[in-house]
Amino acid sequence: MMQDKAFPVSWDQFHRDARALAWRLASAGPFEAIVCITRGGLVPAAIVCRELEVRLIETVCVASYHQYKTQGGLEVLKPVSDAVLGIGGGGGKGVLIVDDLVDTGKTATIVREMLPDAHFATVYAKPKGRPLVDTFVTEVSQDTWIYFPWDLGLSFQPPISGGSG
């Protein structure tokens, strides 16, 4: 079994990457609302909405990672509000969906069904989910596990090669 590759992301790096996402999105708008996919989309959505000066922020709550590193079944805990669903005559035109990562694309597929005409953006993308997003900053391999700054503490990291010194 191949060991997953670790990709730890610091707060500074994540902030830079989220601002880079906003930079790319600036010409794709204007957007009337941002829908962030909780929980991972909350931080990049805060940065993107500030940079693009969008004031209408909504959440869609989808639970997918029920156990550490194991993607289980999906459950929509809170759908998008009717107010956001009605933007652009329905379908999500003029709405920006933001998440931290698209992995297998299962969560993205569910949210895309809610807002098929929205612009979908993630900070990071893996190959299986990448076709579902319109804009992203960095693509990582499918076997890479991204450690986001909100999941990390400071600790020793062993060398990548696995050697002892």
Phi, psi of 13 (to 5 degrees): -65, -45
The three-state secondary structure class of 15 is: helix
* Active-site position among 99, 117, 143, 151: 99
Quote the Cα angle for 76-111-131, to 5°. 135
Choose the catalytic residue: 4, 12, 17, 100. Answer: 100
CA distance 134 to 119: 6
117 is catalytic: no
CB 5 within 8 A of CB 142: no
Whether omega before 39 lies within 30 degrees of 0, making that bond cis, reads yes
**Tokens standing for 97?**
């969906």
* Closest by CA position to 141, among listed 96, 111, 85, 101: 101
Single out the catalytic residue among 12, 17, 82, 103. 103
Residues 6+ apart with CB under 8 A from 26: 51, 52
Active site residues: 99-100, 103
